Chains A and B, each alone.
Chain A
Amino acid sequence: MNEFNVLGIAPTDDMILIKKAFAAKARECHPEEHPGEFKRLQAAYRAACRYAKAAGEAGGAGIFLEIGGSLAETDGTPGATISSDGQTGTEEGDSSGAVPDGEEEDSSGAVPDGEKRALSGTVPDGEKAQAGSVAVFAGERAPSSWDFDFSDVEKRQTDSREEFWERFEYLLWNPCLRNNKEAWRAFCRRPEYQGLLEEDSFRGELAGRILGDSYLYWNVNTLDSLAKMLKRYQKNKFALYETGTSAWSSFRRKAYLAGAAPKGPLLTSGQQKLLFEVEGTETLVRGQRVDMERYLYLYFAFAGENRQELERLHQSAAGRMRWIPCLRLLFRAGRMLLWLCAYLALPALLFMLGCFLLHEAGYLGS
């Protein structure tokens, strides 16, 4: 093997020998004085380490596992390639793609080449995580005269259940955020709630609370995205209790008829202003998830401390909005009726025409 030639030893899987050889050779080419040579030596050392680890674990066969999480190995010359998967290449190629630039002539942009990963050294992430690491937090506490109880620190995980419901309420009765898909998405994607959402009973309770609310204020798109999200956590695809039940469908139907709150922009100007003032940033981009997460972070903190104030605001807003959905309900119902009439009217007309013609022709009674 080339790397062992550079190190000056025979191929071996003894890490200590490899390290000693590397140290000895390194004395001759210190990176301060011979940077190029040292780089080659170091690359050889890495390759030798990988060989030794693989030989140790897989009995010398060809499965190479990554050490240090680095990408494809090179020998230091600029000719080496790395590139992303073929898949992303074709995706990008389809889109109109340009990085918007403001120059009239030609848009600019670049796309990674559609080549596969070059060398054999890589392994998909899932496997890599399992290979080297062992339960990170194993090990008992070292005995000492000051023995502290850290269960409080771990307990914060389970407290997130109450926190979830509290924040859920805040999102629910805020008329601006209730139908904001991004808000729900950002809220439910929080890492501390993932464990909760994987519990079936919890999801059932969540669905129950959503359904328990008035259909007048829900937008069908939001309900659909919530249903999709709940379904994503479902392990048993045949269980319908959350998203496929008749209760959910009828709720959805009613909400559709009510035609509640309009979709609107993802972050209202008031929300943007709040972010500006508190964070002092100029780079808000509307609709980005990052902004919604930041906004939620601030909003929940504010809501927690100013419950009454917020409740008062939302009551007054809710009062104003109450007649809108009712009116809309009427309009929609009326429209549906008209449409129904039109749908039935034609056959009815034809039928009457038929009867008339037949009557004229004398086939029907006088």
Chain B
Amino acid sequence: MAIIGIDLGTTNSLASVWKDGKVQLIPNSFGEYLTPSVVSIEEDGQVFVGKIAQEMLLGRPRQTFREFKRNMGTDITCQAWKHRYRAEELSALVLRRLKEDAERFLGEPVTEAVVSVPAYFNDDKRCATKRAGVLAGLTVERMVNEPSAVALKHHVLEKDMERFLVFDLGGGTLDVSLVDAFENIVEIQAVAGDNYLGGKDFTQVIAEDFCRENGLSMAALTPGDQALALRAAEQVKLGLSEKNFVSRRVLLEKGEYSLEMTNQRLIRLSGGLLQRMAKPIRRVMDDSGTSWEEIDRVILVGGSSRMPVVAQYIKSICGTEVTVDDSPDESIAIGAGMAAAIKMRTGELQDVILSDICPFSLGIQVTGDRFSPIIERNETLPCSRTGFYTTVNDYQDKIHFYIYQGESLSASENLLLETIRIEVLPRPAGEVRVAVTFMYDINGILDVKISADGENWHRVITNRNMGLTQEELEDRLHTLREMTLHPMEQERNRLLVETAGRLYRECPVRYRGVIERQLSRFERELKHGNDREIREAYVRFSLFLSLAEQAVNNREETGRFDESFWVEDDTE
């Protein structure tokens, strides 16, 4: 039974597996490796995941959701029709789609996966990821940190002895890791990051600048307009990776506006974001006590690290050799696949050891709302530490242990994991001696042993359900199972329909009739034609749509609408 590796990203998700002596990426039903992390839920419960849902973003903003990875582990819900969905349920739908793709690729059922998470994800978010796996029908026993996965991939493929820094700037999160790799060991030495900084923030900055320049206010736009503005900003951001000056015409409901951007201007607007990017780097270097001379190179990974603004800024800070990963979107998935192979104990990877660390401190609360850490951050996993504590009041017969995860000196500012109550014999304060042992293992399971007066209490903290009872979890599971994923065979046709819908909204009003006519023709042929006619209709319609898309893009860049693209086939 194969274990697959999954990269559950903010913008895109991928799956990979160790097969035939190497890690292979699993293609989806379109033959692509990247599946956008976008989910669209219809009224009858049918769910679209991936490229189709991405096309539905503009037309149906109220039932389509994207970039929900940031909300994992929180109570934030989105509403579609009569039901509210949490981020982990939406992630579960994406995972289910990936699971089906994997089963089709391997020809056998898949029940277990290793999922990648940002290194800086706290316990809430990690538990939410595990729950998403459960809701999708996958056991997620182990999670691998995203920069560790990248480090693994680089070291296994290149086999040098080196110390490098991994800078992973994804759609929504930033992770920085310091890695020491030699022979078959990949050792993570320090980790830092920002859970709320990513490419999405740069898009937001561009969109807000667009609004400011044109005298609009982002909050005052309708949701459809906001989606259009953000989409234009994103395309501008992607365009800046190739050209230094990008301009687009944005067609909103209010009217037509222009959006212009250069890389230098983007630097000025996003100064704050760039400064925030430098902080985790500084922290990682300080935590591990290394100097820049000891670092052999810096690897930039993650879709957003392709932005020249980001790459240059990191270069200007680091001074060491900076390499942009050759496949920034796929590295994490390949690394996750390798971690899965190591767990499976097969193949050439069985010797490789990935030694990861605990990104947050774990401890308990002591008097005066102070946090007393027992396991400090950047401690290598698996680790076990003991702290000794005593009572504060005379003849106290109970002690409450509040277990927290975090860095703040004030305990209540950290994340509460669990509360354990024990009883002790009443004695004068200071005479009771309690030993608290924390064991944190590579699967993220915290094992707590408390011993006092010769008695022992043992609690294993794993998979906290965060207030959800078992019944509620079953209930959610049931609801999700009822929602059917769109069957893969009809996906191609549906994709064309949705793309047509999007282009209809984007192109000038005069030409909308053309699209509508072609669309209804296509739908007619789907209903009544035989297989061969459907295939022909598919080819014709997809050609038409690609021409239309080109015309729309051209118009957005040049402001002119080139009618020569607009070829209508009148043969009926």
Contacts and interface: CB of A to CB of B under 8 A. Distances in A.
A95 B368 CA distance: 8
B4 interface: no
Nearest to A146: B308
A150 B316 contact: yes
Interface string B422-435: 00001001100111
A212 interface: no
Interface centre among A32, A79, A141, A142 (most CB of B within 10 A): A142
A113 B315 contact: no
Contacts of B402: 99
B318 interface: yes
Contact of A20 (B183, B353, B413, B433): B183
A291 to B, nearest CB: 11
Given A30-B351, A144-B312, A134 B293 contact: yes
Interface residues of A, number: 77
Interface in A17-43: 19-20, 22-24, 26-27, 30-33, 35, 38-39, 42
A30 B267 contact: no
Given A69-B376, A78-B386, A92 B288 contact: no
A31 B353 contact: yes
Contacts of A133: 285-286, 289-291
B400 A99 contact: yes
Interface in A106-160: 106-113, 115, 128-129, 131-134, 136-142, 144, 146-150, 152-153, 155-156
A225 interface: no
Contact of A68 (B189, B274, B434): B189
A109 B400 CA distance: 6
Contact of A70 (B281, B345, B378, B397): B378
B389 interface: yes
Determine chain B's interface SS by DSSP, over half rule: mixed
A132 B289 contact: yes
Contacts of A93: 392, 429-430
Given A99-B400, A108-B396, A142-B322, A81 B316 contact: no
Contacts of B378: 68-70
Interface stretch (B65-73, B126-134, B359-367, B505-513): B359-367
Interface string B364-393: 111111101010101110111111111111
Contacts of A82: 374, 385-387
A110 B183 contact: no
B567 interface: no
Given A42-B355, A68-B190, A156 B289 contact: no
A273 B199 CA distance: 33
Contact of A23 (B185, B313, B401, B421): B185
A78 B449 contact: yes
Contacts of A112: 366, 372, 387-390
Nearest to A70: B379
Nearest to A144: B312
A136 to B, nearest CB: 5
B342 A32 contact: yes
Nearest to B178: A68
Given A67-B289, A108-B400, A148 B267 contact: yes
Interface centre among A66, A108, A146 (most CB of B within 10 A): A108
A109 B393 CA distance: 8
A74 interface: yes
Contacts of A342: none
B484 interface: no
B437 A78 contact: yes
B442 interface: yes
Interface centre among A23, A26, A137, A148 (most CB of B within 10 A): A148
Given A20-B183, A149-B264, A70 B376 contact: yes
Given A110-B366, A133-B290, A134-B292, A97 B393 contact: yes
B495 interface: no
A79 to B, nearest CB: 7
A92 B366 contact: yes
A206 to B, nearest CB: 25
Contacts of B322: 142
Interface in B404-433: 412-413, 421, 426, 429-430, 433
B288 A69 contact: yes
A339 to B, nearest CB: 41
A105 B398 contact: yes
B196 interface: no
A341 interface: no
A92 B315 contact: no
A309 interface: no
B446 to A, nearest CB: 14
Nearest to B369: A99
13 contacts: A30-B350, A39-B382, A70-B379, A71-B379, A99-B400, A109-B396, A111-B389, A113-B390, A132-B291, A136-B286, A148-B308, A152-B271, A153-B275
Given A70-B378, A84-B372, 17 more contacts: A20-B183, A32-B343, A68-B287, A71-B379, A80-B386, A82-B385, A93-B392, A98-B367, A99-B402, A101-B400, A105-B397, A110-B399, A112-B390, A129-B286, A142-B316, A146-B263, A156-B271
Nearest 3 Cβ contacts at the A-B interface: A139-B319, A132-B289, A23-B183
